[in-house]
Amino acid sequence: MEILKGAAVAEALTKRLAEEVKTMTSPPVLATVRVGERPDDISYERGAKNRMAKIGIKVEPYVLPEDISQEKFLEIFDQLNEAEHIDGILLFRPLPKHLDEAAILSRIAQDKDVDGIGPENMAKIFAGETDGFAPCTAQAVIEILDHAGIDLTGKRVTVVGRSLVIGKPVAMLLIQKNATVTVCHTRTRDLAKTCQQAEVLIAAAGKANMIGAEEVGKDAVVIDVGINVNEEGKICGDVNFDEIKEIASAATPVPGGVGAVTTSVLAEHVVRAARLHGKSAK
């Protein structure tokens, strides 16, 4: 089984973007917005900052108190939306429960929504328009398949998970690539059989080891989006790698697979936003 490592995909993207940024009139700027001190957010913030630095993208971190009011949050968010020098905004989620997340998501400026969280970008992805920003993790799945040279045309692809962050947008991006897509969720009957029929299987359920030998068809390509912590406290995906290695033709590892590509896709979106904002050399 071939192991589809994210690092190679991330490095290729990073190299191309760094070359482009060198030619820009001023560096692209990403504002990161974190509310509180969630370890997951801090870790992603660090990873994003390192990746942006490699490319020449400036990061402006905004860290807001856990108990910030909706009104104050929106006041700051609006300032970022309006600030001319900022090209993209990355908002860490989930937000604390007392904040109205839906209202906040619908407020983000479409041209700065580099993580595809707002309704306008979501609509573009569903309409098959290519000038929107897809959620970075969903796009990272496509980048990995493209980099591996896997032609999706006419392929049977099964996605496990139907969230707005991954499952649904990735299904739309796969349809755009002419795949025949089935989306599974907790109410799916005979999940194993549906998965086993897939030529490409995307696991995005967030359940450690739920995809094993029973769920993977011979020579399938398996993309594991899940990030879970197993009983030993280690990071693992949704796929039982040991069980599928004699069956699948290729699979992404966790860690080191999809997650490794996500921040590069974010960078690609920030550079694209900077281009839209007129930072390309004439």
Q: Select 68 or 195, whichever has its Cβ closest to ligand NAP.
A: 195
In angstroms, what is the minimal distance from the CB of 25 to ligand NAP? Answer: 31
- Dihedral angle, C-alpha 192, 197, 200, 202, nearest 10 °: -20
> Per DSSP, which regions of 25-155 are E strands?
29-35, 58-64, 88-91
What's the residue count for the chain?
282
Asked if residue 162 binds ligand NAP (CB under 6 A), the reply is yes
In angstroms, what is the minimal distance from the CB of 228 to ligand NAP? Answer: 5
Among 86, 90, 166, 248, binds ligand NAP (CB under 6 A): 166
In which region does residue 154 sit, left (phi positive, over 0), alpha (psi from -120 to 50) or beta (all else)? left
Among 185, 229, 230, 242, binds ligand NAP (CB under 6 A): 185
Asked if residue 269 binds ligand NAP (CB under 6 A), the reply is no
Taking the C-alpha atoms of residue 183 and residue 171, their distance in angstroms, rounded to an integer, is 7
Asked if residue 180 binds ligand NAP (CB under 6 A), the reply is no
Site for ligand NAP in 222-261 (CB under 6 A): 225-228, 258-259
Asked if residue 208 binds ligand NAP (CB under 6 A), the reply is no
Instruction: Tell me the per-residue interface mask from 28 to 57 with ligand NAP, x by CB under 6 A, - otherwise.
Output: ------------------------------
Q: Select 43 or 186, whichever has its Cβ closest to ligand NAP.
A: 186
Half-sphere exposure (Cβ direction) of 210: Cα atoms closer than 13 Å? 23
Among 43, 70, 130, 186, binds ligand NAP (CB under 6 A): 186
| C-beta separation of 225 from 197 below 8 A | no
Q: Select 15 or 185, whichever has its Cβ closest to ligand NAP.
A: 185
What is the rounded end-to-end Cα distance, in angstroms, of the chain? Answer: 47
Tokens, residue 72: 């104050």
Lookup result for tokens 């968010």: 77
Q: What residues are paired with 239 via a beta bridge?
A: 211
In angstroms, what is the minimal distance from the CB of 21 to ligand NAP? Answer: 23
Asked if residue 265 binds ligand NAP (CB under 6 A), the reply is no
Asked if residue 167 binds ligand NAP (CB under 6 A), the reply is yes
In angstroms, what is the minimal distance from the CB of 157 to ligand NAP? Answer: 16
> Three-state SS for 82?
helix
Q: What is the rounded radius of gyration, in angstroms, for the C-alpha atoms of the chain?
A: 19
The values of phi and psi at residue 217, to 5°, are: -80, 160
Site for ligand NAP in 125-154 (CB under 6 A): 137
- In the complex, the residues that contact ligand NAP under the rule CB under 6 A are 137, 160-163, 165-167, 184-188, 191, 204-207, 210, 225-228, 258-259, 262
